[in-house]
């Protein structure tokens, strides 16, 4: 399922749960609830998979904007960030 399909399925299940509650018994069918939880889990996983490349791109962009334009430059920057006086005691 695509992200859009998952969001549509979530909305459908949410409406179904609302209808089940409105029928007077104030209970949601266990099957509906379990399916809703599965859709929520799948949505969270899909969204986290989308965010990972974005975060990595931002980090790399920030490194280059800070003047680090080579692998050696990255190593030097990282060493400077971790090189503290407390490190050498």
Domain enclosing residue 59, as ranges:
3-83
Cα angle 74-77-83, degrees, rounded to a multiple of 5: 135
Is the residue at 32 inside a domain? yes
Count how many residues are written for the chain: 89
**Are 47 and 69 a contacting pair, CB within 8 Å?**
no
The yes-or-no verdict on residue 46 having pLDDT over 80 is yes
How many domains does the chain contain in total? 1
Please state, rounded to an integer, the average pLDDT across all residues of the chain.
79
Q: What is the pLDDT of residues 53-69, one digit of tens each?
A: 888 888 888 877 776 56
Residue 89 lies in a domain: no
In-domain check, residue 88: no
Model-level pTM greater than 0.75?
Answer: no
DSSP for 39-69?
Answer: HHHHHHHHHHHHHHHHHHHHHHHHHHHTT--
Confidence at residue 83, expressed as pLDDT on a 0 to 100 scale:
59
Q: Is residue 36 part of a domain?
A: yes
Q: What is the DSSP string of 66-87?
A: TT--SHHHHHHHHHHHH--GGG
* Phi–psi pair at 35, nearest 5 degrees: -65, -40
Confidence of residue 79 (pLDDT cuts 50, 70, 90): low
CA gap 34, 69 in Å, rounded: 50
């Amino acid at each position: 399922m695509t992200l859009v399909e998952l969001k549509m399925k979530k909305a459908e299940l949410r409406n179904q749960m609302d209808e089940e509650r409105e029928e007077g018994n104030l209970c949601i069918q266990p099957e509906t609830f379990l399916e809703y939880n599965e859709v929520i889990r799948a949505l969270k996983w899909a969204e986290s998979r989308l965010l990972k490349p974005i975060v990595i791109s931002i980090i790399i962009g920030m490194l280059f904007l800070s003047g680090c334009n080579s692998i050696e430059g990255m190593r030097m920057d990282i060493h400077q960030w971790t090189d503290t006086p407390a490190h050498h005691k």
